[in-house]
Amino acid sequence: MKVRLSEEQLRFYKRHHYVHLKHVVPEPALVLAERIISKWVDELVESWYERKLITDKKQELDFQHRLVQLWHDAGKPKYGRSPRRDLVGRDMYDFLKNPALLDIAEQLLETDEVSVHGIFNARPKLPDQKWTDTPWHQDAQYYRDAENTHVVSIWMPLQRVTEYNSCLQVAPGFFDQTLLDGVIDEETNFLGLKREDAAKLVALSVEMEPGDALCFTQLLPHRALPNKSDAVRWSMDIRYEATALATESGKAQGFIARSAVQPENEASYEQWLSQWTEIPAGSY
């Protein structure tokens, strides 16, 4: 069944450059996302085990607590905080091609010719971990060729998120028509807004449930709050763009996901996988 956004939701997105869609991500997609991330966690835990940082892999712990407990056991080692290359596989391809997510992208982009943008993340947001606090930023600061090209980001939590456990904040009405110069944040080493620009923002917290999606443009300032809970805050964020306007940064590891006019141009899993062969494991 096609996900259909209301006229009110579409108008809100056009005016404010974001929209919070409730209960639009199907349960099988959430299960698939957890499976993708759990595989990455297993590989990370195995590396700690092989380095003798831990002696027990604690398979009995749940998805929300296993990584944070083992991270403490291992002595809080640094690790790839934004896995991307290590998520690549059939499950990730199927997640990016999920019909509900493509339906959302199609309506927000106003085209039925939709491409996956090659930048996506699964964020492990641990408590007491300042280096995973994403500062105020615009996504296009990471792919500046999208300054004037609509790229829609879709951010999805895998558990309930509030101000306590690191929901996102957005700043509608600020800089959403202009790509600002970014600077490297001294505390986290993430790319973000200059402090004087960030100081002008008025933050709006977006608390969400699993199955919700926060959609926003490539220019909307946003950030993640610190995680003050005792569990990992997991999320997936993916991007789509209109195929006819696809950016070079998007096409590099992206692919045509939906085409009503030329469905034969939709990329197979094998075609997408071939775009990653020269990119080493562990790459962001």
- Determine the pLDDT at residue 79: 84
Q: Are 253 and 118 in contact (CB under 8 A)?
A: yes
* Separation CA 198–CA 67 (nearest Å): 32
- Determine the pLDDT at residue 129: 85
- Determine the pLDDT at residue 243: 98
Where along the chain do its domains lie?
A: 9-26+84-274
- Determine the pLDDT at residue 219: 98
DSSP 8-state code for residue 211: T
pLDDT in tens, 102-129: 999 999 999 999 999 999 999 889 998 8
Q: Assign 161 to helix, strand or coil.
A: strand
- Determine the pLDDT at residue 268: 98
Q: Are 18 and 170 in contact (CB under 8 A)?
A: yes
* Residues in the chain, overall count: 284
* Separation CA 123–CA 133 (nearest Å): 10
Q: Which CATH class is domain 9-26+84-274?
A: mainly beta
* Separation CA 139–CA 221 (nearest Å): 8
- Determine the pLDDT at residue 123: 84
* Separation CA 221–CA 17 (nearest Å): 10
Extract the runs of DSSP E, i.e. beta strands, from the chain. 18-21, 113-116, 121-125, 151-157, 168-170, 182-184, 191-193, 204-206, 213-216, 222-224, 233-242, 255-259
pLDDT in tens, 11-66: 999 999 999 999 999 999 999 999 999 999 999 999 999 999 999 999 999 999 99
Which pTM was predicted?
Answer: 0.96
Tell me the mean pLDDT per 10 residues along the chain, length 284. 95 98 98 96 96 97 96 91 91 98 98 97 88 91 96 98 97 96 86 95 98 98 96 97 97 97 97 94 77
